[in-house]
Structure 1
Amino acid sequence: MALVTLATCALNQWSLDFEGNLRRIKESIVKAKAAGATLRVGPELEIPGYGCLDHFLENEVYENSWDSLYSILTDASLHGIMIDVGLPLLHRNCRYNARAIILNGKILCLRPKLYLANDGNFREMRFFTPWNRPRHVEQYYLPPRIQRHQGCRQVPIGDVVLSTIDTCLAAETCEELFTPNSPHINMGLNGVEIFTNSSGSHHSLRKLDERIALIQEATRKNGGVYLYSNQLGCDGDRLYYDGCAMIFVNGDIVGQSSQFSLNEVEVVVATVDLEKVRAHRFAPSRGLQAVAVPEYQRIEVDYSLSQDNLDLDTPQSPTAPRPARYHLPEEEIALGPACWLWDYLRRSKAAGFFVPLSGGIDSCATATIVYSMCRLVISAIKEGNEQVIKDVKRIAAYTSEIPETPEELCNQIFYTCYMGMEKQSSKETRDRAKNLSDRIGSYHTDVNIDDVFNSTTNILTQATGFQPKFKVHGGSQTSNLALQNIQARSRMVIAYYFAQELCEVRKRPGGGSLLVLGSSNVDECLRGYLTKYDCSSADINPIGSISKVDLKRFIGWASTEFEMPILGEFLDATPTAELEPITADYVQSDEVDMQMSYQELSRFGTLRKVDHLGPYGMFLRLLEEWGGVGKLSPREIAHKVKLFFHFYQINRHKQTVATPAYHAESYSPDDHRFDLRPFLYPPGFESWSFKKIDERVEALEQRQKRQDAAKGLK
């Protein structure tokens, strides 16, 4: 056997937190060494943090990164292990996302990223230049201080592989795994046995499956050991990096860290047998390809990753394979946004969260996620997590004792408020809000906003003499919407007022204000079924990129897993904004107002964003999915598609000011970075495509008439 002990890690880095990032990097290296590892791999751009965005255009970030690397190089406690660490580099006045491979205080080589992530949430080509020269190597001129320490002026930079005494290893970075012709293919054919992948991959529902499948396929077909490292936590943006560092051998997982965790440093260690890799690569067809691939330049390293098993006090054996660990989408919603909220709360130095609790399922889901966060925090405290304990002592300031239950923590840091109106709000929604608050322990207030509403409407009447009325009272559609919007926007103003004052009301030591959480889901954002600058306007929104369909599944799951039967009442209730007066024969309904179901909205969203379909293309696709005998007619499908795009078009401007939301769904309409579309559409956008839809519907109906007539003749 040729046994090698390897380590990869997940680090909760924070953009531009050079001191904290360096501390976590060093801690991971020390833990890897203590576990007997001879190689440690870290996340992408771990020194400055992955999400620096336009700060990567500032030279200071590169200088600070070299300062951190110098601290690693000169720390003797980190010697005796090969270290793969990520940082940005300036080379020939170009910026690169790179890896530094170091050993015993010396840089062996620098490996820049070949292919950059540049879609969806990623804009790496805005900051960096892709190396895009496979197997090309040149010399990098080190900063003067590093030159003096290194004892030379230059080190190799490029797409290299490293030959140690006993094996061969090479690095690829994040996006390169997802490209069709990934570097590991030719690297493996060139004899590389250990691959490292340093990643800054954010959480998205059901995304881990894809990562695992890609690495399993790469190592099962190519053979080899694959170390995947990832960032963990909220590093200052709307993304949550979900960790899950992993080690694979020939398609089998032998190590996997948690996907969602409040830990700042997680290290995964496994002992692997390189002979298994060599035996896996027996096929003659592989040999035929291997002798034909272009050659890589090798860096010779006088170092052995393996250890003689006879010299060890305790004989080693390879780490046994284990099944991959996945979370259900419902669990992902419970854990991902909760971890993101905790990082945001502790790093923003706010006193807690405030949620306008309406009695509906969206604000219920937001409140339940905050409760899930409190559960995770209490669990981490019981496990002895020192950082969590330190943060809780600062945030939960009402008592000197650390809260012992999620409900106790909720009462200190979570504030909810029901803002009702005499004629629009029902007793059922008011009771549901109160009962949910009682169950999770939040500090709850209940207010009526009729005075604010009446005062605002009277301003127009006093100025013009016009008295607007709701539709159910004989008013116009314009007045009906205007009166609804006054209520919605008043709630936003009151929410921020309460968020600033409630800590003072409760005499919180040190004062402080609360972060206001939004509760609009991805489908309502997509359709524009929300009031601009209402309660959807907040500081952050944990559910803004989660579909109503998934939120319902989450609430159903949480009702059992969290022992919260009260959640069943929210699932059974008809979704309603409660902005119109309730009468004997009328109660406002969201799906009636939208003229489409949440299930349909979810499908529209996926076809628009993920499948890149416009109105006509979506109509053709839905003809296959929704059409046919006993299903929707072409004209009905056409009506739904045109209705969706009409409302999407006229409401697109709302997304330009949408609350920053946790990214979780691939069809999110987030205008800030993920979904870049115009917000002023020309009328021709819909009329041209709609005309083609109408022509197709007419042709299909004429064909159906001819078929029916032919059947009649028979």
Structure 2
Amino acid sequence: MHKYGFVRTACAVPELKLADCQYNIGEIISLAASAWVQGIEVVLFPELCITGYTCGDLFFQRELQQNALKALDDLCQWSAGKKMLIVVGVPLVIGGSLYNCAAVLNDGKILGMVPKTYIPNHQEFYEKRWFASSKSLLQKEITICDQTVPIGTDLLFQHAGMAEFVVGIEICEDLWVPIPPGSFHAVAGATVILNPSASNEIVGKSDYRRELIRSQSGRCNVAYLYVSAGFGESTTDLVFGGNAIICERGVLLKELPKFNLGNEILAADLDVETLIHDRQVQTISDSTDLIKERPYRRIMFETLAAEDYQGEVNAQPFVPGDQNRRNERCEEIFNIQTMGLATRLKHIGNAPMVVGISGGLDSTMALLVCVSVCDRFNIPREKIHAVTMPGFGTTDRTYDNAVALIKGLGASFHEISIVEACKAHFKDIGQPLTRHDVTYENGQARERTQILMDLSNKLGGIVVGTGDLSELALGWATYNGDHMSMYNVNASVPKTLIRYLVKWVADQSAETEIRKILTDVLDTPVSPELLPPDEHGKIAQKTEETVGPYELHDFFIFQVVRHGFSPEKVYYLACKGFNGVYDGKTIFKWLNNFYRRFFSQQFKRSCATDGPKVGSVSFSPRGDWRMPSDANSTQWLKSLDKMKIEL
């Protein structure tokens, strides 16, 4: 787990008996023991869970205060020999004031005490009646349970064997203020924020609370664990639902349903490596002026890493799994493509659109975007000049689909064969027609691009590109051929997502014949059709047989470019995400191919044409991806060679 930057964490909701510290600590220990068996490294309990949050004036009772400390000592002794970070809530008397604290325990020791800063005293909350704010705390250390323990809001807890795994703590109301303490913790280096809480349930509050936690985790680039008091708290005036939420980088990983009966554990594996990567990209260190006047103390802790990652690995990270979200994503991307092209057209005087149509996925997508621009901005569809250019490898299936789609959508139809032009060109350069090499293939691609460019000049138009992000990552495009256009609407859309986009448009279409064509396009094997068909007139050149499955490559692109993961981690995640689909040998083969192509083909990305960014991964050399064309792949390939030996 730690090798790949993963840590297993959990929120625990015990069933309580109000003011019965011995009973409560028994329930807490029982849940902690369960967490230990599950390989959990950090377990968070609710605010004031040792006593219960709703004790009221009983907090002033010496009996309750002393029994709370005794219970804390029992938990501390139980934890000896267990390398797990345990965070529990306890009231603590210091210098004549009572503080609402989170106690942090690890392997038989109390590592630190973090007091609550913002004490709510409005509506149903009366905490100032009992508790002082951390702002009034004068001491840096206290003696508790026969240990000298640091105390303060300036404590961060750092893993001894994983320096980037740093835990900060804020308590309940601390999250709800304009600048939560957790924000300062994050700037100081915390990658995981824990929030022991006691938040009552009223209508509509849970949605706001969930969004607050999710947005804070995204704003600070942290993992955020929140757990609230639950069953057993007083219901004299309030009800506590025992809600628990785990978020990471603005994404809700898991949530424990409200109104459970307690003794529940919500566990999730976090990816600290991803958090650090995003911080490097977004330079969170620019905010360090916020903490210059408040230095932090770091306290080391140790845990035992779990054996295997149990988090969900999405095999299609560019494509939402939920159909409703996927439809929303498709609509948004289609609108981005439409507005991008429309804006470019307006800038150059509403020029005609020239687009090459092969009958394949990418060119179909580009044509659909052109049609969307026309319909949305009251432009006649005839201003789309759709060109089909049959060549040596064109099959009846793709040709018929291209022709039917162009005519069915009402675009201006052009058919220009490249056969005779290529024959003449091959004769000029001494290329035999029987030699089906890279010259044979690329010559056709460049001839098609020349036709589109020259026709665009003739019409005073703009060539709309069709190549997608996946092809650009692999360099699966002819340099100065299909690699080139005047504006590329598919530039940052991966192949797997284009498939869903075309399907989404098909589902939206009211025209039965158009839906039928689009469905057949979706079922057609991906191919540049630059080699002659087989003896049955079918597509002989299938892209995925040459470069590998696009669903694998899109997964690799996301993990390598979006997260900066090592080859070992990409392979590890791919094996989990595609378990039962591809075996390890197949995944390794295409991962090796990916790295070789990705490095060697950067020169094509360095001069990629304009096109709209639609997601978090883009290869625009002007805004998103700056990589030297002669970068060396040696280190990455050495890692792969080492993996091959180990495998």
Q: TM-score, with normalisation over the residues of structure 1?
A: 0.44
Q: Which has the larger radius of gyration?
A: 2
Q: TM-score, with normalisation over the residues of structure 2?
A: 0.48
